[in-house]
Structure 1
């Protein structure tokens, strides 16, 4: 994995979830200083902390390790879609998921 990618992904996900470092650190069970060092890549998280961060921030570790680097334009689409999904009801999410599955079948 490219240096800085993990810390950057954690920071972006934290901001997208409207969490401060202090709040996220409390959720995960680490100190805010430790989280700051993880985001700045001065420290690497343990496996347990990494999974707790991914779970708390709702992001896939697979996307960090396996996916190719998305373009800036694609990344902006991801962010916008992610923010819009937070306002959807369960019924709306089901409909969007079905639509997305249909769209990807045509690719």
Structure 2
């Protein structure tokens, strides 16, 4: 099993993300507001946009009516900078509009202050 330290816990505050490398692969490390870490390929599966140039945000619920927005999942949605595709960070990087599609992801564990990703 290949594994690598990609950053320290102090490098990313809750609700933030950062680019890193896993070997030669460009990866995106996300830390959700609850402090959990997640890792994905730093490339949108649509046309290859660098996801670290996008944003971590939330989503509106299905119960929102026109002109009314109910916001949820704050800091748990990754939005592509090019075309706005949205991925659920906590649900394996699944696309909100098509849950059958998801971002390639990595397993993550934290040991002390080290964030380690592995396959």
For normalisation by structure 1, the TM-score amounts to 0.30
User: Which of these two proteins has the greater Rg computed from alpha carbons?
Assistant: 1
- Give the structure with the higher percent strand: 2
The TM-score normalised by the length of structure 2 is: 0.28
- Higher helix content, 1 or 2: 1
